[in-house]
Structure 1
Amino acid sequence: MNTCQTLNSLFSPKSIAILGASNTAGKSGAVPIALLLEAGYVGKIYPINPRQDTVYGLPCYASLGDIEEAIDLVIIAVPASHVLAALEKSRPGQIRNAVIFTSGFAEIGDAGLQLQQQLQAFARERHIRLLGPNCLGFINVRNDIYATFSPAPLNGRLPAGDVGMVTQSGAFGAYAYCLARERRLGLSFWISTGNESDLDVADCIQWLVDDPETNVIMAYIEGCKNGDKLKRALAAANQAGKPVVVTKIGRTNSGAQAAASHTAALAGDDAVYDALFKQYGAIRAYTIEEFFNVGQALSKWTHRSGNHNLAIISISGGVGALMADEADELGLNLPTPPDEVKARLLARIPFAGANNPVDVTGHALSDLSILLDTSRDLLATGNYGALAIFLAAAGSSESLWSYLQELVSVLRTEYPHIPLTISALLPPERKNTLQQNGSMVFADPSAAIRTLSKIMHHRPLMISPRTDGQSAVSLPEGVGALNEPIHWQC
């Protein structure tokens, strides 16, 4: 089956049946119905439970076979031992896709693996695509389609955006949903793959590459059963210019064992994954914070110049030096501003540090125009690919708030493709306001520099087929020697 051509009906279904539908709030067979109805899902919903006449006010069916229409998606929330028997009551060709919430399959050992293999065989025979089992399902954020039993959306919805997120871990997925909501990070799709009896993370990455509304892909990976498929998916994302941010667990023996016991994933040698990510331009994030920082920054600045020159403005010479150390270690350049730019600043603050980092000192807080004027002077040179500003605790000042909004708004309007970070202590609502208006906000200035480094260094590699079946990789203009062998093959 051509995965990319068949998954539209899974992720954008026009009809959904729920096996194990329930009227009991919070149960796995109730949550998706409640979410779909609350969100105003426009397709048809078919609750299935032989012990109920209605579920959430909808007519309830005894089995799949009692539904006359074809069904794009079946959500399965019945015990593992009943899943196959329930599906067998459908008619051949009636079902196109199934999301299986149920646990108790390959992740529990041989008995569960046998059940999973029987389910796979039936699905192949009927041409049914499977997501799961042992997964939280998915959310099509843009179209308000909630095929999940996670309670996270019940506590608040995500804004629609251009970031597609796929995770093998359901618990992490629910956590990530909440973090994205807290950050106001707009998602296009949120997908949990679980045991991956059919569709896996690579399939979902490949499908998100083809989704016109997804520009950035975030993937949480525990292991991989098909390295060639993952390689093809990352290559496709790279060629499409859609950056993939990956958090891959199992870097150590202890982590690998934990990953294998969780979803029966093949954790594999971490050095292999690391080389694969580097070869195909995926950005590896080593912490959850970094995972979100980089994903959000890539979504905010989709058209970056490839310029590795960073401008730093600080009200503290000491912290400016700390940021400079971080930038230098991460391969970012800190060119000195032109003489005329330095002269204009020194005319206003004779004791300022006019090199890069630019130390505007605390005096800038008594003349708030200095920050904006200096920022514009630096960016007007065309010599800098990003700007990082450190404001210490002054960022929380009430008198500074309106000016901060103006600074971000002006720079976003005049330099929309230049990444801008503000390091300051701000309450969450103000942090989100500035981030919605065009900056990234960090309490830790080092985290700001690390995020800028990740996105400024990311440039797609041009990969073209070779006659020997391998991949020839052409480096972007300006890229010199690499630290890793670029032609490594998975």
Structure 2
Amino acid sequence: MTHRLDPLLQPRSIALIGASNNPGRIGGMPLDLLRHFGYAGAVYPVNPKYDEVFGYRCWPDVESLPEAPDLVVVAIGAEEVTATLQRCHAKGARAAIVYAAGFAEAGEQGAALQRELEAFAQRSGMVVAGPNCMGFANLNLQAHTAFASVFRAVPPQTEPGRVSIVTQSGNVCSAVFALMRRLGVPVSQFINTGNEACVEFSEYLQFLAQDPQSDCVIGYVEQLRHGPRFIEAALAFAQAHKPLVIYKAGETEKGSEAVRSHTSALAGDLAIYQAAFEQLNVIRGTDFAQMADLAYLSGFRQRQGGRRVAIVTMSGALGAILADKFIAAGLDVPTLSDGLQQQLRAGIPDYGMVANPVDVTGNVVNSPEFVRTVFESLAQTPEVDVVVVYAPGYLLDRMADAMAEVCARHPRLFVAIDTGAAQSRQCLAAAGVPVFDDIGRASQALAPFCRWLHAQPAVQRWAALRASAQAPASAEALPARLNEHDTKQALAVHGVPFPPERVAADADAAVAAATALGYPVVVKVLSADIAHKTEVGGVRLALANEAQVRAACEAIAASVAQHAPQAKVDGYLVQPMVGGGVAELIAGVTHDPVFGPALTVGLGGVLTELYRDVSHRLLPVDAAMADDMLRSLKAWPLLDGFRGRPVADVAAAAAAIESLSRAALALGPQASEIEVNPLLVRAVGEGAAALDALIVTAP
């Protein structure tokens, strides 16, 4: 299958404009690397000053080349780039890499140059990488187009590459590449995206997701430019069972000034990035060493694993340390069943632990055969997903044959930690057992890798849900101004549960409405211009009779006139006073500028933004996902019968949240913000009720 990035990432011929005979210059280093590593394709240096460069014939201009090259590397100044690319396009070149800085990152003059470059690429169809780009390397073809000295400074690669790197920083690309090569991880593609004027980060990911020579991708990103494409790429990685590891820089809250809904204040850039990565099962990188270790672990991704870890040591102290680290990193270290403990106790002295961690003690030296029984038992039990073995040096060597034999018969992931100098490391790796030499690095990499294995079914399920929840051909029309009653009507048709209510033009109508609905009632000001009614004195609760309703209408009118004199008031909204709630939640949808519609659920009421106890998901969200969101809240015990409180009707709350997701998809981006606050959750079997709602329409 062909891809438009093929000539860029898998070039059959390369021309370099601005060629130099100096290996220390950016026009010379790639040519030196191509010659040194033996690139088999045609190489065409272009510079009228030379007849030959690094053993390659040098051509005076692109027009004189004997053929149209697949890829042109442009090592000239920013001002000359677009004109030169036009000549390359006329020659028939299909792709180009632009090294030059001085474009969008360099003020208005540079921005103008970048707009010119973008217009050319769009007009011509030429694939242009960069500008402000270090270049690439396809290590399987030895197609080096990057001016990076790191390729000569790392251990040479003798096996086919299987991990690719794609970063928005050339220095990060080099640093992670060096660490991976020192671990012996074979690299396929080395990609620095630069300014991404014409090819952006997620398009490279789409290429690598279907690339048979990329079993894992390590990435670094400062800002995603195309969220929907990133979602598609991440789902393609999940479908192919390939880990995608991304280090996201700039982890600060930006663009989250309070707008008209609490949800917007809660759903900042960072929160949605984190939620999107988790939902898409993208592993979040935390440092370069961890990312290199994850690249190493990706070679064992076909082993079966998950969140539940069994720890085998010959040191109680090391078992406790590892248990602490794994639990702190989000994994489980479950206590083994009595029956399994009895099996293990058969060969472990009374002073050795068998509950998990399992301490085989120094007795392993005297009875190495029993270790095989331990491994066999842990490889087959449904109680754990991963087995981590700590054994330094010669002790690991004593266990290695048994571990390798068990792994040959069972697909469960075994991981070894050797802080000594075991001779069996390579044999274990060949048998499917990754080996670490540091406890901290092992836990930092293994924990997210195990969570990735565990989450694979969930991301596949969401991909299917997303595919089935197609947006309507045209969104339901909304008026430019929506008061609370309009909002509730727009949401109720999709199943969001609201109590009955009536609109009243004046106090007499409010009294009639209260009589019909039944006391006690709530009276609110009705205005599309007032988002938070309590802040202007626009709400009165628990009104028990006609006199209180009339007094409430009078007080609301006076307070609103004082605090929101410009607001257009549509009257009053009267609804029954709803009580008996176990908890109040907030549920809202915002349109993130990168990822699109995202749903936020959290503890509701007036302290929402103070506690910021929230969970986020990209749409669509169904009831099962909503249930997971609620269970992830710190406030979950309040819904689950904390200290004798009633257990909340979580199923009803989850169904209401699913209805809100459905409504948001139907209304589309014209509803830039939707919020239900509070969503009152009653006791089990009594349902949930949305007491207030807000829709902010897009300009």
Report TM bin, short chain: 0.7 to 0.9
Contact 1:167 1:173 in 2 (8 A): yes
Name the structure 1 match of 2:273: 273
Deviations along 1:47-102, one digit per CA (max 9) or x if unpaired, are: 00111111112111111111141211011222223323332333526111011222
Tell me whether 1:128 sits opposite 2:131 in the alignment: no
Give the secondary-structure state (helix, strand or coil) at the position aligned to 1:349.
coil
Tell me whether 1:413 sits opposite 2:405 in the alignment: no
Contact 1:301 1:418 in 2 (8 A): no
Tell me how far apart the structure 1 counterparts of residues 27 and 369 of structure 2 sit (CA, whole Å).
Answer: 57
Give the secondary-structure state (helix, strand or coil) at the position aligned to 1:95.
coil
Contact 1:130 1:199 in 2 (8 A): yes
Name the structure 1 match of 2:33: 35
Tell me whether 1:467 sits opposite 2:470 in the alignment: yes
* Equivalent AA in structure 2 for residue 304 of structure 1: Q
- The 1:94–1:343 alpha-carbon spacing in structure 2 relative to 1, beyond 3 Å, is closer
Deviation of 1:369 after TM superposition, in Å, equals 4.2
Tell me how far apart the structure 2 counterparts of residues 476 and 308 of structure 1 sit (CA, whole Å).
Answer: 20
Give the secondary-structure state (helix, strand or coil) at the position aligned to 2:145.
strand
* Equivalent AA in structure 2 for residue 8 of structure 1: D
Deviation of 1:177 after TM superposition, in Å, equals 1.1
Higher relative contact order (CA 8 A, sep 6+): 1
Deviation of 1:337 after TM superposition, in Å, equals 5.4
Deviation of 1:428 after TM superposition, in Å, equals 11
Name the structure 1 match of 2:307: 308
* Equivalent AA in structure 2 for residue 364 of structure 1: V
Contact 2:46 2:59 in 1 (8 A): yes
Q: Which moved more, 1:107-116 or 1:57-66?
A: 107-116
State how 1:244-323 maps to structure 2 within 5 Å.
244-252=244-252, 269-305=269-305, 307-323=306-322
* Equivalent AA in structure 2 for residue 483 of structure 1: S
Q: Percent identity?
A: 27
Name the structure 1 match of 2:97: 99
* Equivalent AA in structure 1 for residue 156 of structure 2: R
Tell me how far apart the structure 2 counterparts of residues 161 and 428 of structure 1 sit (CA, whole Å).
Answer: 26
Deviation of 1:453 after TM superposition, in Å, equals 2.9
State how 1:448-487 maps to structure 2 within 5 Å.
448-458=442-452, 459-460=455-456, 461-462=459-460, 463-464=463-464, 465=467, 466-468=469-471, 472=620, 483=632
Contact 2:165 2:189 in 1 (8 A): yes
Name the structure 1 match of 2:136: 138
Tell me how far apart the structure 2 counterparts of residues 183 and 40 of structure 1 sit (CA, whole Å).
Answer: 24
Poorly superposed stretches of 4+, deviation over 6 Å: 473-477, 484-490
Contact 1:345 1:374 in 2 (8 A): no
Contact 2:134 2:146 in 1 (8 A): yes
Computing the radius of gyration from Cα coordinates, the structure with the larger value is: 2
* Equivalent AA in structure 1 for residue 471 of structure 2: D
Name the structure 2 match of 1:403: 398
Contact 1:93 1:126 in 2 (8 A): no
Give the secondary-structure state (helix, strand or coil) at the position aligned to 1:190.
strand
Name the structure 1 match of 2:192: 192
Tell me how far apart the structure 1 counterparts of residues 125 and 4 of structure 2 sit (CA, whole Å).
Answer: 10
Tell me how far apart the structure 2 counterparts of residues 92 and 291 of structure 1 sit (CA, whole Å).
Answer: 42
Deviation of 1:310 after TM superposition, in Å, equals 1.6
Name the structure 2 match of 1:334: 334
Deviations along 1:93-136, one digit per CA (max 9) or x if unpaired, are: 61110112222222232222222222222222222111111222
- The 1:12–1:343 alpha-carbon spacing in structure 2 relative to 1, beyond 3 Å, is closer
Name the structure 2 match of 1:173: 173
- The 1:374–1:74 alpha-carbon spacing in structure 2 relative to 1, beyond 3 Å, is same
Contact 2:253 2:269 in 1 (8 A): no
Q: Which moved more, 1:9-18 or 1:361-370?
A: 361-370
Deviation of 1:475 after TM superposition, in Å, equals 10
Tell me how far apart the structure 2 counterparts of residues 365 and 233 of structure 1 sit (CA, whole Å).
Answer: 50
Q: How many residues align?
A: 467
State how 1:230-245 maps to structure 2 within 5 Å.
230-245=230-245
Give the secondary-structure state (helix, strand or coil) at the position aligned to 2:291.
helix
Deviation of 1:353 after TM superposition, in Å, equals 1.4
Contact 1:23 1:56 in 2 (8 A): yes
Tell me how far apart the structure 2 counterparts of residues 358 and 177 of structure 1 sit (CA, whole Å).
Answer: 37
Tell me how far apart the structure 2 counterparts of residues 11 and 404 of structure 1 sit (CA, whole Å).
Answer: 44
Deviation of 1:352 after TM superposition, in Å, equals 1.8
Give the secondary-structure state (helix, strand or coil) at the position aligned to 2:161.
strand
- In the superposition, the TM-score normalised over structure 2's length comes to 0.61
Name the structure 1 match of 2:433: 439
CA RMSD of aligned residues (A): 3.2
Tell me how far apart the structure 1 counterparts of residues 289 and 402 of structure 2 sit (CA, whole Å).
Answer: 26
Tell me how far apart the structure 1 counterparts of residues 188 and 141 of structure 2 sit (CA, whole Å).
Answer: 9
Name the structure 1 match of 2:324: 325
Name the structure 2 match of 1:26: 24
- The 1:363–1:474 alpha-carbon spacing in structure 2 relative to 1, beyond 3 Å, is farther
Tell me whether 1:389 sits opposite 2:392 in the alignment: no
Tell me how far apart the structure 2 counterparts of residues 408 and 472 of structure 1 sit (CA, whole Å).
Answer: 44
Tell me how far apart the structure 2 counterparts of residues 231 and 340 of structure 1 sit (CA, whole Å).
Answer: 42
Tell me how far apart the structure 2 counterparts of residues 57 and 218 of structure 1 sit (CA, whole Å).
Answer: 35
Name the structure 1 match of 2:226: 226
Tell me how far apart the structure 1 counterparts of residues 104 and 423 of structure 2 sit (CA, whole Å).
Answer: 43
Contact 1:216 1:298 in 2 (8 A): yes
Q: Which runs of 5+ in 1 are unaligned?
A: 255-267
Deviation of 1:42 after TM superposition, in Å, equals 1.9
Tell me how far apart the structure 2 counterparts of residues 300 and 148 of structure 1 sit (CA, whole Å).
Answer: 30
Deviation of 1:184 after TM superposition, in Å, equals 0.8
Contact 1:63 1:86 in 2 (8 A): no
Tell me how far apart the structure 2 counterparts of residues 320 and 103 of structure 1 sit (CA, whole Å).
Answer: 52
Q: Which moved more, 1:58-67 or 1:419-428?
A: 419-428
Tell me how far apart the structure 2 counterparts of residues 475 and 402 of structure 1 sit (CA, whole Å).
Answer: 50
Contact 1:388 1:449 in 2 (8 A): no
- The 1:139–1:473 alpha-carbon spacing in structure 2 relative to 1, beyond 3 Å, is farther
Tell me how far apart the structure 1 counterparts of residues 41 and 344 of structure 2 sit (CA, whole Å).
Answer: 62
Tell me how far apart the structure 2 counterparts of residues 138 and 12 of structure 1 sit (CA, whole Å).
Answer: 10
